[in-house]
């Protein structure tokens, strides 16, 4: 049996988890899902649709928001009871973090961001994985020497596939035993959410992303206007979040969110490999940059060489004109 950690934020599903479920289905017909916190119990329908037979719900008075070490503890207790052959999760920052806690508690290796997994068929033989290294600039074939495989699934390496005729997953709740140290890292408050009008970075079809070239927080107003017009949302580079111009929830890249929209507009972004790691799965990339030699040009489907402060208002005006 394969156990898949289905991540959610206060009950809102991380869609990358459905891709992890699909990956699990390629390995076994027996797939169980687990959610941390009672708010995830409402996901029984969707995880069933994507192939999970059972949804385990870890409930506890302290599991009301993201608590990664507590997730690891709850997963370890479930693994002990169910004895799965693998535990998978989405290769998101949260998925990786929770699995890393599980691996630490069980003193086992963890393979992060795998694009292919082959489970061992004979006792003692290693599992085989292909995993992304160096912001996915290198794909490494590796062997994992442990009976239980703990692995996260590289974002966008599997298409989420519903299972025809699948029923809602059977819900089984359990209360993990938590230690005080499991709750040391927890959410103290929330602010600067990137979701505008219900569109988040992870599910946006259009992202208008800004980098250092935007020049400061005020410059993002024009990106917001364009994003709104295109029914998308705003993203940014790490320089921007480090400077405090925009919240981290909007950062695209290796240490931000990995995205795969239909259209990614990169304005004033140079194209460092850590940024590209987060946006290279976009269907179409439009670059706006004053420097024709900027590294991001290598990934551009269309490039506009120019000052974004002139190009973006011109684009916005042109799109408005088509909507009249």
Ligand X SMILES: Cc1cc2nc3c(=O)[nH]c(=O)nc-3n(C[C@H](O)[C@H](O)[C@H](O)COP(=O)(O)OP(=O)(O)OC[C@H]3O[C@@H](n4cnc5c(N)ncnc54)[C@H](O)[C@@H]3O)c2cc1C
- The residues binding ligand X (CB under 6 A) are 211-213, 237-239, 251-256, 268-270, 272, 274-275, 278, 288-291, 294, 307-309
- Provide the strand spans (E) within 59-126: 86-90, 111-118
Least distance in Å: CB of 240 to ligand X?
A: 6
Least spacing, CB of residue 69 vs ligand X, in Å: 23
Backbone angles phi, psi at 90, to 5 degrees: -65, 145
Q: Which tokens in the block code for residue 170? A: 């059977």
Smallest distance from ligand X to CB 320, Å: 21
Closer residue to ligand X (CB): 102 or 294: 294
Pairing of strands 127-133, 111-118: antiparallel
Greatest Cα pair distance in the chain: 67
CB closer to ligand X, 129 vs 311 = 311
Q: Shortest Cβ distance from residue 235 to ligand X (Å)?
A: 9
CA distance 8 to 17: 9
Please tell me the distance from the alpha carbon of residue 47 to that of residue 25, in angstroms, as a whole number.
12
Rounded least distance, CB 109 to ligand X, Å: 22
Q: How far is the CB of 145 from ligand X (least distance, A)?
A: 28
Of residues 36 and 204, the one with the C-beta less far from ligand X: 204
Least CB distance to ligand X at residue 226 (A) = 14
d(C-alpha 28, C-alpha 18), whole Å: 15
Residue with smaller CB distance to ligand X, 176 or 213: 213
| Tokens coding 238 | 């790490």
State in angstroms the smallest separation of the CB of 272 from ligand X: 3
Radius of gyration of the chain (CA): 21
β-strand partners of 21:
none
Dihedral class, residue 11 (left if φ above 0, else alpha if ψ from -120 to 50, else beta): left
Is the Cβ of residue 108 or residue 240 nearer to ligand X in the bound state? 240
Nearer to ligand X, 25 or 280 (CB): 280
Our CA dihedral for 41, 43, 48, 54, rounded to 10 degrees, sits at: -20
Closer to ligand X by CB, 63 or 227: give it: 227
Percent helix / strand / coil, the chain, rounded to 5:
35, 25, 40
Nearer CB in complex with ligand X: 31/294 = 294
Structure tokens at 230: 């295109």
Say which DSSP state 167 is in. P
Q: Which two tokens stand for residue 24?
A: 């699990």
């Amino acid at each position: 049996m394969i156990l898949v950690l289905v991540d959610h934020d206060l009950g809102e599903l991380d869609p990358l988890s459905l891709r992890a479920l699909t990956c699990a289905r390629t390995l076994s017909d027996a797939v169980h899902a687990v959610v941390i916190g009672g708010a995830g119990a409402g996901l029984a329908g969707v995880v069933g649709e994507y192939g999970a037979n059972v949804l385990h719900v870890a409930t506890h008075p302290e599991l009301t928001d993201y608590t990664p070490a507590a997730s690891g503890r709850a997963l370890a207790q479930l693994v002990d009871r169910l004895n799965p052959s693998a535990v998978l999760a989405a290769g998101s920052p949260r998925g990786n973090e929770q699995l890393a806690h599980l691996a630490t508690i069980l003193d086992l290796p963890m393979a992060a961001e795998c694009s292919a997994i082959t489970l061992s068929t004979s006792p003692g033989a290693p599992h085989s994985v292909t995993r992304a290294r160096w912001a996915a600039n290198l794909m490494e074939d590796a062997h994992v020497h442990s009976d239980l495989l703990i692995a996260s699934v590289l974002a966008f390496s599997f298409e989420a596939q519903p299972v025809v005729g699948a029923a809602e997953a059977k819900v089984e709740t359990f209360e993990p035993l938590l230690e005080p140290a499991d709750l040391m890292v927890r959410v103290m408050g929330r602010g600067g959410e990137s979701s505008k009008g219900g569109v988040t970075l992870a599910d946006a079809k259009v992202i208008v992303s800004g980098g250092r070239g935007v020049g400061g927080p005020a410059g993002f107003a024009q990106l917001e206007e364009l994003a709104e017009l295109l029914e998308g949302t705003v993203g940014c580079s790490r320089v921007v979040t480090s400077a405090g111009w925009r919240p981290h929830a909007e950062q695209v890249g290796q240490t931000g969110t990995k995205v795969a929209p239909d259209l990614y507009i990169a304005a004033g972004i140079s194209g460092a490999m850590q940024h590209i790691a987060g946006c290279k799965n976009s269907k179409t990339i439009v670059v706006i940059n004053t420097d024709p030699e900027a590294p991001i040009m290598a990934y551009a489907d269309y490039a506009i060489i120019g000052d974004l402060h002139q190009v973006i208002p011109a684009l916005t005006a042109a799109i408005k004109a088509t909507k009249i």
